[in-house]
């Protein structure tokens, strides 16, 4: 992987234009459709998230990663059957290769579901987060951020719905009242010359939309027609990308695009905070009835024999978690594994 491989850049859209009336709203939705069918990624302004909250999230994330390893390992993900907590560099996989990043996964703060032999396997995914005793401010700050950015993500989802000539709340039946929420605070350490520069390998996200906060160091790249497009940090913006749920629901009209992160050079690290909005785990993704002019442009689903897509949301999400975190899968979910499962194969970073 190499930074700076292409000249094109991602477009910028102002979410405030979605609230406009008449021609301005129509232009916004037309631009959103164009972005959704090409890059599947864009910079978002007009999101309304307070800069102070963003600064607090970044500062506390850096404080967590600066903790001694023993304190970080107190909340190691392998201790959680719900795939929550800290992952060391090299312990998550994409396309069978180790991702060189450390991270903490924080989901919705909910109690574990009661289980029995007949319970769907996805019910194992709901449960409490792990929080570091050494950094008590992390929990309230990240949960406040989760609530705030969930509202942004739902607003973006409503805009995509309107762009497809659907009611704004067409997806509410499969995410309300308790959407699947996940925050990852992520640190990419620098890599020595000659070492693999896979911060996270090429993949798609599996939810509705991803809202990405980048600090100051570049590394994200988006697949373009003529090579990789760099997506460096732009102050005051988030990067938004489409997930596989929207690709499924729109029969491929909306594009869940491939992306990756390149490790920074030695002596530099990269910090990002990714929020993933997904449907409820008990839901099934509908196939929307698009107007004829849009349906004619739908490309159908991406067919990848190594990463089949399911309309059953819980099944799709569980598949990705088992593959991304084989240590958790083997410790807590060995009974779910087929001979080819629980190994570091193609996986989503979701």
What is the domain-level CATH number for residue 201? 2.60.120.330
Nearest CA to 219 out of 187, 185, 264 is that of 264
Residue 135: pLDDT above 60?
yes
- The region of weakest confidence among 11-20, 90-99, 135-144, 184-193 is 90-99
CB distance 15 to 152 below 8 Å: yes
The predicted pLDDT at position 305 comes to 65
Angstrom CA distances, 138 to 74, 106, 162, 277, 311, stand at 15, 11, 36, 20, 34
Task: Specify the higher pLDDT residue, 161 or 2.
Answer: 161
User: Contact 242/278 with Cβ under 8 angstroms?
Assistant: no
The per-residue b/e assignment along 32-66, b for 16 or more CB within 10 angstroms, e otherwise, is: bbebbbbbbbbbbbbbebeeeebebbbebbeebbe
Whether the model pTM is above 0.75: yes
- Decide if 296 is inside a domain: yes
Those residues with Cβ within 8 angstroms of residue 36's Cβ, 6 or more apart along the chain or in another chain: 160, 163, 242, 253, 254, 255
pLDDT tens for each residue of 175-209: 999 999 999 999 999 998 888 899 999 999 999 99
Is residue 1 situated within a structural domain?
no
If one compares 181 and 4, the residue with the highest pLDDT of the two is 181
Judge whether 3 lies within some domain: no
Within-domain flag for 215: yes
Q: What is the mean pLDDT of the chain?
A: 92
Per the structure, the complete domain to which residue 252 belongs is given by: 12-336
What's the CA gap between 341 and 325, in Å, rounded? Answer: 11
pLDDT at 347: 41
Asked whether residue 348 is domain-assigned, the answer is no
User: How does pLDDT run across 264-306, given as a tens digit for each residue?
Assistant: 999 999 999 999 999 999 999 999 999 999 999 998 887 666 6
- The region that residue 59 occupies, defined by phi over 0 for left and psi between -120 and 50 for alpha, beta otherwise, is alpha
Identify the pLDDT of residue 348.
42
Of residues 310 and 243, the one with the higher pLDDT is 243
In a domain, 195, yes or no: yes
pLDDT at 174: 97
Asked, for residue 307, whether it belongs to a domain, the answer is yes
pLDDT in tens, 22-56: 999 999 999 999 999 999 999 999 999 999 999 99
Q: Exposed, middle or buried: residue 69 (CB in 10 Å: 0-12, 13-18, 19+)?
A: exposed
C-alpha distances in Å from residue 84, one per residue of 219, 236, 254, 334 = 25, 29, 30, 17
Provide the number of structural domains found in the chain. Answer: 1
What pLDDT shows up at residue 340?
Answer: 56
Instruction: Write out the two tokens for 105.
Output: 């996964």
pLDDT for 6 equals: 43
Predicted local distance difference test score (pLDDT) of residue 306: 67
Residue 155 belongs to some domain of the structure: yes
pLDDT in tens, 223-250: 998 899 999 999 999 999 999 999 999 9
Q: Which of 29-43, 188-202, 312-326, 332-346 has the lowest mean pLDDT?
A: 332-346
Coil, helix or strand at residue 72: helix
pLDDT above 90: percentage of residues in the chain: 82
Which residues contact residue 231 at a Cβ distance below 8 angstroms, ignoring those fewer than 6 apart?
9, 10, 41, 218, 220, 221, 222, 239, 259
């Amino acid at each position: 992987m190499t930074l700076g491989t292409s000249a094109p850049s991602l477009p910028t859209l102002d979410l405030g234009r979605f609230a406009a009336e008449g021609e301005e709203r129509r232009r916004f939705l037309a631009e959103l459709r164009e972005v959704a069918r090409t890059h599947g990624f864009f910079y978002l302004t007009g999101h309304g998230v307070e800069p102070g909250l963003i600064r607090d999230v970044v500062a506390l994330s850096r404080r967590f990663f600066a903790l001694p390893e023993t304190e970080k390992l107190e909340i190691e993900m392998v201790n959680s059957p719900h795939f929550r907590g800290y992952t060391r560099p090299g312990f998550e996989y994409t396309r069978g290769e180790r991702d060189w990043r450390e991270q903490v996964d924080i989901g919705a703060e909910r109690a574990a579901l009661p289980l029995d032999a007949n319970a769907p396997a996805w019910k194992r995914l709901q449960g409490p987060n792990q929080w570091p005793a050494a950094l008590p401010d992390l929990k309230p700050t990240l949960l406040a951020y989760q609530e705030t950015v969930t509202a942004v993500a739902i607003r973006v989802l409503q805009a995509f719905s309107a762009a497809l000539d659907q009611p704004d709340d067409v997806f509410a039946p499969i995410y309300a009242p308790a959407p699947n929420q996940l925050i990852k605070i992520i640190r990419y350490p620098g890599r020595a010359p000659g070492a693999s520069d896979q911060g996270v390998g090429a993949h798609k996200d599996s939810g509705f939309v991803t809202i990405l906060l980048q600090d100051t160091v570049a590394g994200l790249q988006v697949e373009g027609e003529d090579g990789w497009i760099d997506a460096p940090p732009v102050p005051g913006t988030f990067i938004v990308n489409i997930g596989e749920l929207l690709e499924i629901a729109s029969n491929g009209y909306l594009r869940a695009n491939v992306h990756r992160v390149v490790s920074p050079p030695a002596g530099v690290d990269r910090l990002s905070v990714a929020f993933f909005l997904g449907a409820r785990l008990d839901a099934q993704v509908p196939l929307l009835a698009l107007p004829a002019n849009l349906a004619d442009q739908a490309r159908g689903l991406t067919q990848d024999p190594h990463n089949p897509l399911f309309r059953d949301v819980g099944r799709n999400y569980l598949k990705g978690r088992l593959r991304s975190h084989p240590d958790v899968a083997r410790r807590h979910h060995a009974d779910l594994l087929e001979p080819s499962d629980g190994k570091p194969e193609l996986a989503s970073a979701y």
